[in-house]
Amino acid sequence: MNIYVGNLPRTTDEEAVREKFEEYGEVSEVKLIKDHYTNELRGFGFVQMSSDEEARNAIEGINGTEMGGRTLTVNEARPRNNNRKSNYRSSQNRW
């Protein structure tokens, strides 16, 4: 199951997030999202866990807890909406 983790401290790293989730089971992957220009963390990321049951337990156990002075938002990740427009000009009809 893919899990969304929001409100992460910008000073955290993938290893710290992995350790927090490994308390609930096996973590397959941790991906923290960074700004394309500054390479700084954007404050959210995704954790992939191999077992849905372990993932649900992690969501229940970690959501609302603190990390680095920030209250985490943790829930099942939703599929990305690919209908987003990348910029204003591309969303206008040319003709």
What's the DSSP call for residue 41? Answer: E
State how many domains the chain has.
1
CATH of residue 3: 3.30.70.330
**Could you tell me if residue 32 is inside a domain?**
yes
CA distances from residue 81 to 10, 61, 85 in whole angstroms, order as listed: 25, 27, 10
For residue 70, tell me if it sits in a domain: no
Helix (H, G, I), strand (E, B) or coil at 38: coil
C-alpha torsion 60→6→45→11, nearest 10: -120
What pLDDT, in 10s, does the model give residues 46-81?
999 999 999 999 999 999 999 999 999 999 999 877
The overall pTM is greater than 0.75: yes
Query: Would you give the DSSP letter of residue 34?
Result: E
- Collapsing DSSP states into helix, strand and coil, what is residue 62? helix
Residue 70: the pLDDT is 97
User: Domain containing 43: what range?
Assistant: 1-64
| 57 part of a folded domain | yes
* pLDDT beyond 90 at 82: no
